[in-house]
Structure 1
Amino acid sequence: MSDLLAAVERTALLTAALRAAESLRSDRLYHDPYAAMLSGQIGPELLAEVRRVTFPSDGSVRTLPSTPDYNAIRTRFFDDFLTEAASDPTMTQVVVAPTGMDTRAYRLTWPEHVRLFEVDRPAVLAFKEERLGDARPVVDRRLVATDMVTEDWGADLVAAGYRPDLPSVWLLEGLLYYVPEPDVHRVLDRVRALTAPGSLVAADVVNAAALTLPNMAGLLDVFAGWGCPWLFGTDEPEALFDQYGITARAVQPGEPEADYGRWPDPVPPRSVTDVRRVFFVHGRRRAN
């Protein structure tokens, strides 16, 4: 277990801890009964570290985004995206890449026509399987043990039963801002090659200023100290996805479509520069 744990990104354990904490709230946006067992002892420690830098104990004004509220909104937003997409009987394939400690295969309601593929590095999947124990998914779940950044993971996905010629639904959650820009383009180019026209794709990404603003330093330093620095941001997420044949919309936490009564901060218009932003990008693969 210790060797597996060392190979698991701390961000995956942090996300599990955030989902476990959200599940205990009376006003929770979702319920993840598996998150606590996946976060273990380390996840809550990581969450405590994020809370310390985010919420000043001296009563001063918070300058960092509220990670607990952000994660709750992100999880619910993409829960709804996947649930709605899978309700279409032509959407028989769902790809969650990377999956990390995601448990949507266990906690969401899936139609019988869906096959769900979870993509991540072998050590991450092995750790997750050990933690989940006897829990059973409620969908046809296929594990794809591969590295999305360095390996030909598309071939591994196809070998697991994925059909590139059929419509599919993709979720790239918690990935793009952790990899260098050339790898972002490499991942999206591979998604384009693997998706049939009409397929749906969603992801989260930060803007460029979020990587450099002085008032973001506290949070950025924490992630860098864990070996998971933020490396990529874009001010034009729609244009980024358009390059790869995906006509997309970008929604920010706090906007009506992604609020759920939980986002505590103002949402400046897109024309305002030098402010931190997060985008939930979702769109459809074009025929050309």
Structure 2
Amino acid sequence: MSGALDPVERTSLLTAALRAAESGREDRLFEDPHAARLAGEAGFALLREIREATFPPGGGRSAPSTPDYNAIRTRFLDDYLQRAARRDGAPQIVLAPAGMDSRAYRLRWPAGTRWFELDRPAVLAHKQQHLASVQPRAERRAVALDLTSPAWEEDLLAAGYEPERPSVWLLEGLLYYLGGPDAHRLLARVAALMAPGSRIAADLVNAAALTLPDVQVLLDVFARWGCPWVFGTDEPEELFGAHGFKVEALQPGDPQAGYGRWPDPVPPRSAAGVRRVFFVHGKKQPA
């Protein structure tokens, strides 16, 4: 089934492999019992390429640590979604895109939580094939669609999503691959589907992270795979604010987003010309 995935879709197998590797650590930040089967041989092959690029023979680490970043991101967003679900009273949770995420299966959710997983048909088919025997812990609805299509909202509404109800949207591992206009367009469309007070979370990099030499070795791998990173911003608050969200942007290694695992210094926001990753989270404001 992994052969049917396009280059961007295949990165979901890498994420699953990273989560499987993290789950095998004694100091793991989370446990994902489904990640290895979702990753398959293709996912672990991608992970080997990332490790070879990050730790070249005969030298030390030459690039940011993808395993540590993925572990921190996963744990941070696990905690964020579960807090949001408890606060908002069994909301609608929307993964856009869903990739090989298994949170609906591996975490506990308030009774009545409705979980929408949006992704292209090939991705959802791969997941269904490998998790068919596993029961989700929420009311999970897989919605096959392309977030770049002109009318994907209709598919989501047909699946039972209710825009007037509170929702929590997660845009994980997505914005890197969108051009600036496409990122704005997607955020505008998502915002139009969210009731005031609904929550959003996402990850993205700054502009320098797309050009600096210490990141280039990883960017070259993704470009070789056919899924280059093309978007970053130094002002995530403005990006989301332009679409009616009030957000906070944390960096891995900040006190609220480190878990003792981030191996690099955390640059202050005032420092120029340094790579950054942001964990963005906040609420849709009233019109």
Deviation at 1:9, TM superposition (A): 1.8
Map 1:124-139; keep pairs closer than 5 Å: 124-139=123-138
Whether 1:190 aligns to 2:195 is no
* d(CA) in 1 for partners of 2:6, 2:220: 20
Counterpart-to-counterpart distance in 2, 1:147 and 1:55: 35
User: Is the aligned partner of 1:284 residue 2:283?
Assistant: yes
Counterpart CA distance in 1 for 2:88 and 2:211 is: 44
* Aligned twin of 2:10: 10
Q: Match for residue 158 of structure 1? A: 157
1:56 corresponding residue in structure 2: 56
- Aligned pair in 2 of structure 1 residues 159, 55: CA closer, same or farther (>3 Å)? same
- The corresponding residue for 1:115 is 114
C-alpha spacing 1:23/1:32, structure 2 compared with 1 (3 Å): same
Q: 1:127 to 1:163 in 2, by over 3 A?
A: same
Q: Measure, in 2, the Cα distance between the counterparts of 1:154 and 1:250.
A: 27
Q: Provide the rounded CA distance (Å) in 2 between the counterparts of 1:5 and 1:242.
A: 34
Deviation at 1:221, TM superposition (A): 0.6
Give the direction of change, closer, same or farther, for the CA distance of 1:225–1:128 in structure 2 (3 Å limit).
Answer: same
**SS, match of residue 234 in structure 2:** coil
| Residues 7 and 222 of structure 1: CA distance in aligned 2, closer, same or farther (over 3 Å) | closer
Matches for 1:193-272 after TM superposition, within 5 Å:
193-272=192-271
Q: Does the CA-based 8 Å contact 1:176-1:232 persist in structure 2? A: yes
Between 1:207-216 and 1:149-158, the stretch displaced more is 149-158
1:103 aligns with 2:102: yes
Unaligned residue ranges in structure 1 (runs of 5+): none
Q: Distance in 1 between matches of 2:100 and 2:88?
A: 27
Deviates more, 1:90-99 or 1:26-35: 90-99
TM-score normalised by the chain length of structure 2: 0.97
Residues 284 and 91 (structure 1), Cα distance of their counterparts in 2 relative to 1, 3 Å cut: farther
Shift of residue 3, structure 1, vs aligned partner: 5.1
Aligned-partner Cα distance in 1 for 2:211–2:125: 35
Q: What is the alpha-carbon distance in structure 2 between the residues aligned to residue 24 and residue 63 of structure 1? A: 24
Which shifted more, 17-26 or 152-161?
Answer: 152-161
Contact in 1 for aligned 2:56/2:62 (Cα 8 Å): no
Match of 2:143 in 1: 144
Of residues 66-75 and 269-278 in structure 1, the stretch that sits farther from structure 2 once superposed is 269-278
Runs of 5+ in structure 2 lacking a partner? none
- Which secondary structure state, in structure 2, belongs to the residue aligned with residue 270 of structure 1? coil
Which amino acid in 2 is paired with 1:28? R
TM superposition score normalised by structure 1: 0.96
The 1:202/1:183 distance shift into structure 2, 3 A limit, reads same
Residue by residue over 1:234-256, the C-alpha shift from the partner in whole angstroms, topping out at 9 and shown as x without a partner, is: 00001100001100000000110
* Structure 1: distance between partners of 2:202 and 2:20: 22
Q: Does the 8 Å CA contact 1:12/1:100 hold for their aligned counterparts?
A: yes
Give the AA of the match of 1:38: L
Tell me, yes or no, if the aligned pair for 1:10 and 1:226 is still in contact at 8 Å.
no
The C-alpha deviation readout for 1:73-95, integer Å capped at 9, x for no partner, is: 00000000000000024452110
**Cα 1:265/1:2, change in 2 over 3 Å:** closer
Instruction: Select between 149-158 and 44-53 the one with higher mean Cα deviation.
Output: 149-158
Are the aligned partners of 2:90 and 2:114 in contact in 1 as well (CA < 8 Å)? no
**Partner SS state of residue 40, structure 1:** helix
Say which SS state the counterpart of residue 124 (structure 1) adopts.
helix
Residues 89/184 of structure 1: CA separation in 2 closer, same or farther (3 Å cut): closer
Answer whether contact 2:16 2:39 (CA < 8 A) is retained. Answer: yes
State the superposition RMSD in angstroms.
1.3
Quick check: 1:251–1:281 contact (8 Å CA) kept in 2?
yes
Displacement after TM superposition at 1:66 (Å): 0.2
Whether contact under 8 Å (1:207, 1:233) holds in the other structure is yes
1:227 shift after superposition: 1.0
Per the alignment, in what secondary structure is the counterpart of residue 201 of structure 1?
strand
Say if 1:29 and 1:76, in contact at 8 Å, map to a contact too: yes
Q: Per-residue deviation at 1:260?
A: 0.4
Q: Secondary structure of the residue that 1:182 maps to in structure 2?
A: helix
Q: Which moved more, 1:198-207 or 1:127-136?
A: 127-136
**1:173 positional shift:** 0.2
* Displacement of 1:163: 0.5
Q: What is the distance in 1 between the residues matched to 2:4 and 2:90?
A: 34
